[in-house]
Chain A
């Protein structure tokens, strides 16, 4: 919201407070200043100039060579504006001034070979308006050399404040002035109006929906002349960033920004039966608003109607059918209080957010509608020559009374951690119009003004005290007590996972879980977002795979083809059509490893090698060993139900799938625009966490020597490694502690459809040194068994 400092000063005296201090004061009291423009500062270098002469620029058709008199001397200035002419008074920017648009310092320059000592400015360049078609031509009575701050009354400070949703009271100049008055201890000056006690008979107001419209006040002004507003009004309206429209609308806007009450002016003679009826729609209907748009109104939309038809969407926007126009003579000024949530619902349903709805949905002051209507009527009469109709029309069946709240002094210090002087507290409350109606040594009872709907409880009053007293005055303690109860860290396992992945050479990626339909549908049953930002982010990921492949694709495009990545993240699958409870979907934590390209690049003493299925398996084995799951999971190699993988395997624990992966199928990769092999594996992190032990136990290193044996057999080609290794493990004695394949060899010389597998065996005992004889005996018996079982042929020995 924009605040004009000059305007603000009409309600509170800020004395000699420098602007930056005022800005900081506002920010530090919760009215955060996002930006401010001090016109005196911005325009300090600009002066009124006189164009004494204009000639064509010798080297450019579109440029003029002007002689500008600055009150002291004639200067040569190059100007590109089509409307510059001899005899004009203009805004002159001397060399060294800072041009607001683009924030640059003007230098003496040669433009197309001709020296230019300054600049003639347009509205746009100065930030005074949007017009950039030509220079701004000033009133001819202005004197050359006069600073434009004086000549054009540019002596305001325009302050942009971010008002938090709890502070509807601060959405006006008086509202902001009230905080300043409390902060500075100065009086708040509210403009006086003539009270209107009598009741006007010129129109009638009927409220059908009293819940959503607790109060409707109106004031009538007759014989107005719709016209441009006077300069003071236009200037105020412009300074707060609005566009002046006409004297009636400008006054309603002025009053809204003065006291925070949105107003609407109807053409009284267009109101059928001179009647206003406030009621909610019973069914879906359409209505044309004053911006000439047809709006589809849902059921239960609060409407302002006349004797026969709707004329405005209450609190949001007026209708085209009752808008004031140049012929309007008599007006009815609406000043009402609407239920905030009703206005918000309408504004949301219509996606129509106006200055009025913005204030109504935050909560306006129900007890100010009469004041605002009269204030507007008086100003309208002043600027439009109209005559104020005696009396006010005010329908307010159930008066909303200020709440009463109790504040305990002890509670203030318990919450804030320090005590505040009682007198100070009382002063703050009074300045904020929280009137103290009762006081004892422990408590204060205050009434809460109806412009502060946010103050509902004791704690809200404590906040007001803390805020005005200054958060900087709350001590910053330097010691805290630490409770000695058990501490938990639910991220410990994830951290372990990540550091193991890093040590294996993997880089962590973090992907956006929102995917396009096409990508999401690749796996599982994805959940749709009802209001996506765009179609590329319409569904939640069902797996980490899609995001991983997008990253692979991105990197390959940028020439990074050798990738080793992992991600830990949540994936979502729906289990029912509609999501009404946590049982209707799953959210699971997953871990994805993904590798592609070369695992080792060619170096002067190292040969190049690529990632493959076995390297992926190796990574997983190393990973599992380091999270204490060495040899706990079983691999299975059934075909995957889809054609997602060329080579697929899964890892299981006690029959339950813990993860799956393999080499991806080309068709899938094509969908991600990838043309090189990709190997990946996705673990279910929650299962993994469940089965991973918290710690590993120490195993004493072996004290006796190991004995090694190895053998190689020729097998039929279709005999798989796993069946051999399992058989060996099962049939060797307890002396044989490990079997490891160390060679695989296929060659015609072995015979057709034959292969050779070589194994190394390790024998040892924890308790004694084994003898060659007992090892040899076991070794021989395994050889015999393998030979027999697989019809294999022992090689070499």
Chain B
């Protein structure tokens, strides 16, 4: 009898609890089933009428039934509470987030980082040297004779007869080779100075990356291969390149490397002066006189060297038309990169 009643009540409860929409209905349900005179306690009253033999079993069934209903009730109750809370604290998710400050490296540093990454991957070390250099390291050791017009290639700032603001990063080659026996494979980034009038296209200082590789079997063909690989990694796989003869006192043979203009793809435009080519670096085989000056055996060793201007590369890559913006450090410029 009791068990039938349980069944009936269970059926009603299951039905009713499903249709609960708000706290009021839930409270009504609570009163109906769980209050002192509610349906569930009334079942416990019926237990008294059972035989002492039946009692333990029925008691157990009844307890389980009560727990089950209570759990169902609690679940619905907590669901209703969640909804209530959510509605109370409802966020306007469309409001803007709070911005954190994060800085960045100067675009020239970022460009240099990219260059370093490529050359380090090809087994190059990275070395540095001073900006205030001796005339000897900057010129003489690099095979620029005292009274040779080659010195006119680089307008020089002098701080005394013997000391200059280095006009290129090449003196770091001299320092490195004097310190270390071959093999030497390194790039040498740094700041250089030229005594030139400041304009949109030239500045009195800029940055270069020098490269040097000296060993027993270094060839021009390897120089071409290494720089072609660099250019493809840096500018893109589809570029064409060419090496043409040039002159630097510290390399022989010397070359300049051009790549197809990536603005016009070689058709000719303002940037490449209609030639379809952009000059990106100077290079060559290390001149035997330079080896003599650092005490390397110029019969045993051969080597190559190259140098490129970072500003020029960054200007081309990012479409910057005035070199001066790099050194104005306008916050609006710095934040772009």
Contact = CB atoms under 8 A, between A and B. Distances in A.
Contacts of A489: 116, 120, 125-126
A505 B128 contact: no
Q: Is the interface of B mostly helix, strand, loop or mixed?
A: mixed
B159 A530 contact: yes
Nearest to B253: A463
A572 interface: yes
B329 A490 contact: no
Interface of B: 95-96, 98-106, 108-109, 113, 116, 120, 122-128, 130-132, 134, 145-150, 152-153, 157-160, 162-163, 165, 183, 185, 189, 191, 193, 195-198, 203-205, 215, 217, 219-222, 224-226, 228-229, 242-247, 252-256, 273, 285, 287-288, 302, 326-332, 334-335
A344 interface: yes
A507 B123 contact: no
B226 A480 contact: yes
A771 interface: no
A493 to B, nearest CB: 11
A540 interface: yes
B332 A475 contact: no
Given A480-B122, A510-B109, 8 more contacts: A414-B302, A417-B222, A459-B285, A477-B225, A529-B158, A533-B195, A537-B204, A566-B103
Contacts of A606: 98
Given A489-B125, A560-B331, A414 B102 contact: no
B285 A415 contact: yes
Nearest to A459: B252
A476 B120 contact: no
A580 B160 contact: yes
5 contacts: A480-B122, A490-B126, A509-B329, A514-B205, A555-B329
Contacts of B101: 504-505, 564, 599
A572 B256 CA distance: 34
Nearest to B245: A30
Interface string A471-485: 110111111101101
B332 A587 contact: no
Could you say which interface size class chain A belongs to? 35 or more
Given A488-B125, A512-B204, A466 B253 contact: yes
A344 B147 contact: yes
Contacts of A599: 101
Contacts of A507: 103-104, 106, 331, 334-335
Closest 4 CB pairs of A and B: A417-B221, A417-B219, A505-B101, A30-B245
Given A471-B244, A507-B103, A345 B147 contact: yes
> Most chain-A Cβ atoms within 10 A of its Cβ — which of B103, B163, B191, B335?
B103
Interface string A539-556: 010000000000100110
Nearest to A479: B225
Contacts of B302: 414-415
A104 interface: no
Nearest to B242: A472
Interface string A492-511: 00010011011111111111
B126 A28 contact: no
Interface of A: 27-30, 32, 35, 164-167, 340-341, 344-345, 361-362, 414-418, 457, 459-460, 462-463, 466-467, 471-472, 474-480, 482-483, 485, 487-491, 495, 498-499, 501-514, 527-533, 537, 540, 551, 554-555, 558, 560, 563-566, 569-570, 572, 578-582, 585, 587, 599, 603-606
Contacts of B130: 570, 587
Contacts of A341: 145-148
Most buried by A among B152, B252, B335: B252
A572 B132 contact: yes
Nearest to B152: A165
B215 A416 contact: no
Contact of A463 (B116, B126, B165, B245): B245
B221 A474 contact: yes
A570 B162 contact: no
B145 to A, nearest CB: 8
Contacts of B153: 165
Contacts of A509: 106, 329, 334
B246 A30 contact: yes
Nearest to A537: B204
A530 B153 CA distance: 19
Contacts of A463: 245, 252-254
Given A558-B330, A560-B331, A164 B147 contact: no
A391 to B, nearest CB: 35
Contacts of A558: 330-332
A462 B253 contact: yes
A578 B160 contact: yes
A201 B180 CA distance: 64
B215 A587 contact: no
B126 A488 contact: yes
Contacts of A418: 219, 221
B103 A505 contact: yes
B4 to A, nearest CB: 57
A777 B215 CA distance: 71
Nearest to A531: B158
B250 to A, nearest CB: 12
Given A166-B150, A501-B103, A555-B330, A459 B288 contact: yes
B220 A415 contact: yes
A615 B153 CA distance: 49
Contacts of A510: 106, 108-109, 326-327, 329
